[in-house]
A and B are shown apart, each in its own frame.
Chain A
Amino acid sequence: MRPFAYFRAEDPADAVARFGPGAMYLGGGTNLVDLMRLGVARPGLLVDVSRLPLDRVGPAAGGGGLLIGAAVRNSDLAAHPLVRERYPMLARAVLSGASGQIRNMATVGGNLLQRTRCAYFQDVSMPCNKRAPGSGCPAIAGDHENLAIIGHSAGAGGSACVATHPSDMAVALTALDARVHVTGAAGDRVIPMPGLHRLPGAEPDRDTVLEAGDLITAVELPPPPPGRSLYRKVRERASFAFALVSAAALLDVAGDGTTRGCKLALGGVAHAPWRAYTAERAVAGLPATASAFSAAADAELAQARPLPGNAHKVALARGLITAVLEELSR
Chain B
Amino acid sequence: MTAPEAGDQVHTATVTLTVNGESRALEVDTRTSLLDLLREHLGLTGSKKGCDHGQCGACTVLIGGRRANACLALAVAHDGAEVTTVEGLADGDALHPLQDAFIRYDAFQCGYCTPGQLCSAAGMLTEGGPSAVTADLTGDPALTPGEIRERMSGNLCRCGAYVNIVRAVTAVSTAGTEP
User: Which residues of A are interface residues toward B (Cβ below 8 A)?
Assistant: 1-6, 8, 26, 28-30, 33-34, 36-37, 39, 44, 46, 48, 50, 75, 78-79, 81, 84-85, 88, 91-92, 95-96, 98-102, 104-105, 238-240
Measured between beta carbons, the chain B residues less than 8 angstroms from A39 are 2
B130 lies within 8 A of A91 (CB): yes
Stretch from B37-45, B131-139, B171-179 at the A interface: B131-139
Q: Answer yes or no: B30 CB below 8 A from chain A CBs.
A: yes
A101 lies within 8 A of B130 (CB): no
Q: What CA separation (Å) do A105 and B70 show in the bound complex? A: 10
CB distance from A272 to the nearest CB of B (A): 23
A34 lies within 8 A of B130 (CB): no
Q: What CA separation (Å) do A5 and B74 show in the bound complex? A: 12
Q: What CA separation (Å) do A240 and B55 show in the bound complex? A: 9
Give me 5 A-to-B residue pairs in the complex whose CB atoms sit less than 8 angstroms apart, sorted by A's number: A26-B77, A33-B33, A98-B154, A100-B120, A101-B54
Q: What CA separation (Å) do A274 and B79 show in the bound complex? A: 39
Task: Name, among A4, A30, A36, A100, the residue most crowded by chain B CB atoms within 10 Å (CB to CB).
Answer: A100
Which one, A5, A84, A98, contacts B137 given CB within 8 A?
Answer: A84
A37 lies within 8 A of B52 (CB): yes
CB distance from A292 to the nearest CB of B (A): 27
Q: Answer yes or no: B161 CB below 8 A from chain A CBs.
A: no
Measured between beta carbons, the chain B residues less than 8 angstroms from A92 are 132, 137
Q: What CA separation (Å) do A50 and B63 show in the bound complex? A: 14
CB distance from B153 to the nearest CB of A (A): 4
B66 lies within 8 A of A104 (CB): yes
Q: Answer yes or no: B68 CB below 8 A from chain A CBs.
A: yes
CB distance from B168 to the nearest CB of A (A): 17
A100 lies within 8 A of B77 (CB): no
A88 lies within 8 A of B29 (CB): no
B53 nearest CB neighbor, chain A only: A34
B150 nearest CB neighbor, chain A only: A239
CB distance from A322 to the nearest CB of B (A): 22
B119 nearest CB neighbor, chain A only: A101
Measured between beta carbons, the chain A residues less than 8 angstroms from B10 are 3
CB distance from A19 to the nearest CB of B (A): 17
B54 lies within 8 A of A3 (CB): no
Chain B interface extent, by class? 35 or more
A87 nearest CB neighbor, chain B only: B137
Task: Name, among B60, B149, B150, the residue most crowded by chain A CB atoms within 10 Å (CB to CB).
Answer: B150
Additional 4 contacts, C-beta under 8 A, given A5-B11, A104-B123: A2-B8, A6-B77, A26-B74, A44-B8
Q: What CA separation (Å) do A240 and B13 show in the bound complex? A: 34
Q: What CA separation (Å) do A48 and B77 show in the bound complex? A: 7
B69 lies within 8 A of A105 (CB): yes
Measured between beta carbons, the chain B residues less than 8 angstroms from A96 are 132
A101 lies within 8 A of B132 (CB): no
Using A2-B5, A30-B69, A100-B123 as known contacts, say yes or no to A50 and B77 having CB atoms under 8 A apart: yes
B137 lies within 8 A of A99 (CB): no
A4 lies within 8 A of B52 (CB): no
B4 lies within 8 A of A34 (CB): no
CB distance from A117 to the nearest CB of B (A): 11
A101 lies within 8 A of B57 (CB): yes
Q: What CA separation (Å) do A39 and B4 show in the bound complex? A: 12
CB distance from A141 to the nearest CB of B (A): 26
Q: What CA separation (Å) do A102 and B130 show in the bound complex? A: 16
Which one, B30, B68, B132, B149, contacts A6 given CB within 8 A?
Answer: B30
Which one, A84, A85, A239, contacts B132 given CB within 8 A?
Answer: A239
B130 lies within 8 A of A84 (CB): yes
Using A6-B76, A101-B57, A101-B68 as known contacts, say yes or no to A95 and B131 having CB atoms under 8 A apart: yes
CB distance from A132 to the nearest CB of B (A): 17
A104 lies within 8 A of B68 (CB): yes
A30 lies within 8 A of B72 (CB): yes
Measured between beta carbons, the chain A residues less than 8 angstroms from B100 are none
B131 nearest CB neighbor, chain A only: A95
Using A29-B74, A84-B137 as known contacts, say yes or no to A101 and B11 having CB atoms under 8 A apart: no
B73 lies within 8 A of A3 (CB): no
